[in-house]
C-alpha cells in the first residue's frame, strides 16, 4: 500500500546538533583536539579583547569557522555563513545552537586584523603541534624542508612600472617589454613578485610558501610565507630550523635546489646534518654524509612534503591565494597548516 504524501512541518525539534552528528564522523576527533588547544589559548584571548564595550563574537567560534572553510574548500566567508545557517554539522562544530543567529561575513574582515596583530593563528598552530609532541608523533630529530609557489591575487596587467610617468594605458599591452621586480610592481598587490619556479615556466606574480615537515608522521613542524626571490627558499629553511630550538643534532632533507655551499655550511654550523639531494656537478654534499643509511632514508621520505603542498593547494585553496599582502597571505597559510595537522592527527588517532 502506498503511503500518503503528507508534508508536516514541526515547530519544535527535540534533537540537538550533538545528537545528529554521527559518532564516527571525522570532525569529532578533530573537535577534541581543537577544543583542547582553544582552552589553552583562553588567557591569550582575554588579553587581546577589551573589558569594555559590546561583547564580540567569541574568537573560538571564528577560528572553528575558519577551519571549516579550509576543510570543505569554501571559497568565501559569505558562502561559509550561508552554510552555517542551515548546516547542522557546521553549527555543531562551531558551537552554535539550533536557533542561534549567525553573524554577517564582515565579522571576519574586522576580526582578521585582530588575529593578525596578536599572532593568534601562530599560537594556535603551536598549541596543536604541542599536542602532537605530547603524543609522541614528532620525531624531534629528522625533518624535511621545501618551498612551493603561491600564485598571488593579482593579474599580469597590474604589474606596471613603479614610476607613474612611465605607465602606458591599463597595462594589458606588455608584450615585448622588459619587466623586472626592480622596475615594476603590482598596483593590486605590491608585495607580490614576478617569479617562476623552474626554467621554461611562465613567470607569475606570486609568493613562496615554505614548510618544515616532521619525517615520522608527515606533520607540519614549521611554516612561513615570504616574497618570491632566488634566495627565499634557503633563507626560510634556515629560519625554520632556528625556530625549532634545542641543541641536539637533527637531520634536514631537501631537494637539489638547496644544494648550495652557503646553505650546507649554515646547517652544519647549527649542528644540523644536511641530507640534501646532490647535484651532478659541484655538489656541496660530500662522502661523509651520503655514506650513512639515514641519508638515503631522508631522500626517500622528503618526497612526502609534496603531498602536504598538494593538500594545501587543492583542499586549502592555496593554489591561488584570495588575499593581498604578505601578512594576510601568511595568516591564511598558517590556518591551512593548522587544518592539515588536525586532519593528519585525527587519522593517527590522537583524540
The rounded distance, in Å, linking the Cα atoms of 75 and 79 is: 7
pLDDT at position 228: 93
List the beta bridge partners of residue 349: none
Share of the chain above pLDDT 70, in %: 92
pLDDT exceeds 60 at position 351: no
- Is residue 247 over pLDDT 80? no
Residue 94 CA to chain centroid, in angstroms?
A: 20
220 and 341 Cβ atoms separated by less than 8 Å: yes
On the question of pLDDT at 166 being above 60, the answer is yes
Kind of pairing, strands 250-254 and 220-227?
A: unpaired
Least confident of 170-184, 205-219, 227-241, 284-298: 170-184
Q: DSSP string spanning 158-217?
A: GEEESSGGG--TTS---TT----TTTEEESS-TT-EEE-SSTTSPPEEEEEEEEEEETTT
Condensed to tens digits (0 to 9), the pLDDT of residues 217-245 reads: 999 999 999 999 989 999 999 999 999 98
Question: Domains along the chain?
Answer: 17-118 (no CATH), 139-163+180-325 (3.30.420)
Helices (H) then strands (E): counts for the chain: 14, 8
pLDDT bucket at 54, cuts 50 / 70 / 90 = confident
Model-wide pTM > 0.85: yes
Note whether 276 and 259 are within 8 A (CB).
yes
Contact 212, 240 (CB under 8 A): yes
More confident residue, 129 or 56: 129
Q: What is the mean pLDDT of residues 106-114?
A: 82
> Given pLDDT bands bounded at 50, 70 and 90, which one contains residue 10?
low
Paired with 160 in beta bridges are 185
pLDDT average, residue stretch 128-143: 92
Q: What is the mean pLDDT of residues 310-324?
A: 95
On the question of pLDDT at 266 being above 90, the answer is yes
Amino acid at each position: 500500500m502506498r503511503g500518503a504524501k503528507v508534508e508536516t512541518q514541526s515547530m519544535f525539534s527535540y534533537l540537538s546538533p550533538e545528537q545528529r552528528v554521527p559518532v564516527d564522523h571525522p570532525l569529532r576527533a578533530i573537535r577534541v583536539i581543537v577544543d583542547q588547544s582553544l582552552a589553552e589559548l583562553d588567557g591569550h584571548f582575554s588579553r587581546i579583547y577589551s573589558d569594555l564595550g559590546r561583547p564580540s563574537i567569541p574568537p573560538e567560534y571564528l577560528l572553528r569557522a575558519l577551519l571549516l572553510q579550509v576543510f570543505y574548500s569554501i571559497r568565501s566567508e559569505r558562502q561559509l555563513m550561508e552554510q552555517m545557517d542551515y548546516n547542522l554539522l557546521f553549527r555543531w562544530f562551531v558551537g552554535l545552537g539550533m536557533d542561534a543567529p549567525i553573524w554577517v561575513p564582515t565579522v571576519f574582515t574586522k576580526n582578521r586584523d585582530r588575529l593578525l596583530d596578536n599572532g593568534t593563528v601562530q599560537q594556535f598552530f603551536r598549541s596543536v603541534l604541542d599536542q602532537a609532541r605530547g603524543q609522541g608523533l614528532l620525531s624531534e630529530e629528522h625533518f624535511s624542508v621545501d618551498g612551493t609557489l603561491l600564485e598571488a591575487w593579482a593579474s599580469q596587467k597590474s604589474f606596471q612600472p613603479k614610476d607613474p610617468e612611465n605607465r602606458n594605458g591599463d597595462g594589458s599591452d606588455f608584450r615585448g617589454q622588459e619587466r623586472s621586480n626592480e622596475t615594476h610592481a603590482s598596483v593590486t598587490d605590491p608585495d607580490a613578485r614576478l617569479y617562476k619556479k623552474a626554467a621554461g615556466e611562465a613567470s607569475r606574480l606570486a609568493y613562496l610558501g615554505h614548510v618544515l615537515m616532521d619525517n615520522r608522521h608527515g606533520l607540519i613542524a614549521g611554516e612561513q610565507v615570504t616574497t618570491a626571490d632566488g634566495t627565499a627558499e634557503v633563507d626560510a629553511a634556515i629560519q625554520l630550523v632556528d625556530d625549532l630550538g634545542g641543541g641536539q643534532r637533527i637531520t634536514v632533507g631537501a631537494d637539489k635546489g638547496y644544494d648550495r655551499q652557503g646553505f650546507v655550511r649554515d646547517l652544519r654550523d647549527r649542528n644540523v646534518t644536511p641530507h640534501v639531494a646532490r647535484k651532478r656537478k659541484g655538489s656541496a654534499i660530500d662522502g661523509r654524509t651520503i655514506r650513512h643509511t639515514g641519508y638515503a632514508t631522508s631522500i626517500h621520505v622528503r618526497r612526502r612534503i609534496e603531498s602536504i603542498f598538494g593538500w594545501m593547494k587543492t583542499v586549502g585553496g592555496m593554489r591561488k591565494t584570495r588575499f593581498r599582502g604578505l601578512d594576510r597571505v601568511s595568516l591564511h597559510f598558517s590556518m591551512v597548516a593548522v587544518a592539515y595537522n588536525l586532519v593528519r592527527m585525527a587519522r593517527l588517532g590522537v583524540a
